[in-house]
Structure 1
């Protein structure tokens, strides 16, 4: 299976990161996609991309909760890394650095749950990064907390059917799921699927498995029975089993199809 969203560079893994990754690989995880937050998370993320080439794949982007007054400076850094990666991709594989380039632009979007101070800046940052995705032929990994319809409006404003990606940590309604699918996006399903009142039991049985991918968002949102504790990539099979149960298919079929769904995005 492919883990499509994991902050494995986070400092909470500093004491046992190698062992955590070994558990993930033992659980059958073949790739781990790493979303960026801002300039402070790049070095740790890229170090893992170099240490585990073609396995730990980095994204590049500015997370909406990191959008502040200096967001344009952060976006210049994002664009610079994307340009460097594009140049490296023109070199022979043996010389290519930067973890063989970026798998996506992410995570980007809007977050109106914690703070609405920088709403307009979040909108501008999202639009800029959507256009960077189109320029570099990459998909986008969307964070949309308490801001689903605001993000949809921006995607429609971009108005380019080539813009594709994942609504990461999707926990919305069936109507919202159908809208994301209509726009050509996948739904990133994680630990919330296992929560008693998570709401996904009212969504997943009514959509096709071809529209979802799996994620943990570790170290956050650990699935039951680890809820409230540190999340990790090795818990993907727990999420997969719950999702398979809700969608009334075998976990083997779910693993096969969601892995195909993820691979279609990145290649």
Structure 2
């Protein structure tokens, strides 16, 4: 069984004491493909070090996270993304998007950063990995503006409703499903069975959003298995089939 974690922050400080062991634990549990999103330039070297340590398992994205779009550093950070994308191969541009939970004042900058990075993804024929928090309308507005045959990717940590799910799929996105699907108040488990499994990929967003029974604790990539088990219940399929289909979906997006 090969499981794919399409979104995991393996470089996080929360793993500093047991990072290699945590990654090996995931591999031992069948999670052998890890896609690592970028946050800002301060994490780039840590991402490269991880890739060097686990070259058969780790794949990198490059992008500026919307929470790190700040007036004083914004242009330098976008320039860093441009430089990195021009210098080597990445699997996606991400994570990018709009977050209005923490700071609404930077919305115009976040919108601009989102658009510019989507355009970079199109230029390099790469997927995008979308972060959206309290900003579905704003994210969809940008996606509609940029809609084209070469716009595709993953709506990371999807927590919307059925209509929003179908709209995201219509815009070329797979739905990144993680620990929230196991929450009693997560709601997405109530309609996921109406979404064809070909539109779904698995993720953890570790170290955040750990699934039941670890909710509130540190998340890790080995818990991708728990997400897959929940989807096996929802779709009434063997977990091996969930793993096979969702990994295939991830390969369609990332090209690897």
Tell me, yes or no, whether TM beats 0.5.
yes
Which of 98, 103, 112 is residue 110 of structure 1 equivalent to?
98
Partner of 2:31, secondary structure, is coil
Deviation string 1:128-150 (CA, Å, 9 cap, x unpaired) is 00000011110000001111121
The residue that corresponds to 1:12 in the other structure is: 14
Structure 2 residue 248 is the aligned partner of structure 1 residue 257: no
What CA distance in whole angstroms lies between the structure 2 residues aligned with 1:235 and 1:208? 23
What CA distance in whole angstroms lies between the structure 2 residues aligned with 1:162 and 1:195? 34
The residue that corresponds to 2:32 in the other structure is: 30
Structure 2 residue 51 is the aligned partner of structure 1 residue 49: yes
The number of residue pairs the alignment matches comes to: 252
Deviation string 1:70-89 (CA, Å, 9 cap, x unpaired) is 2111000000011111xxxx
In structure 1, list runs of 5 or more residues that go unmatched: 86-100
In structure 2, list runs of 5 or more residues that go unmatched: none
What CA distance in whole angstroms lies between the structure 1 residues aligned with 2:237 and 2:141? 34
Deviation string 1:202-257 (CA, Å, 9 cap, x unpaired) is 22111110000000000000000000000000001111001121122221111110
Ranges of 4+ aligned residues in structure 1 off by more than 3 Å:
none
What CA distance in whole angstroms lies between the structure 1 residues aligned with 2:124 and 2:66? 20
**Is this contact kept in 2: 1:188–1:213, CA < 8 A?**
yes
The residue that corresponds to 1:122 in the other structure is: 110
What CA distance in whole angstroms lies between the structure 2 residues aligned with 1:147 and 1:248? 32
**Is this contact kept in 2: 1:65–1:111, CA < 8 A?**
yes
Q: Within 5 Å, give how 1:69-80 maps onto structure 2.
A: 69=71, 70-80=73-83
**Is this contact kept in 2: 1:174–1:202, CA < 8 A?**
no
Shift of 1:26: 0.3
The residue that corresponds to 1:206 in the other structure is: 194
* C-alpha RMSD of the superposition: 0.8
Which of 64, 67, 74 is residue 66 of structure 2 equivalent to?
64
What CA distance in whole angstroms lies between the structure 1 residues aligned with 2:165 and 2:191? 7
TM-score (norm 2): 0.97
What CA distance in whole angstroms lies between the structure 1 residues aligned with 2:78 and 2:211? 33
**Is this contact kept in 2: 1:222–1:232, CA < 8 A?**
yes
Shift of 1:30: 1.7
What CA distance in whole angstroms lies between the structure 2 residues aligned with 1:6 and 1:178? 25
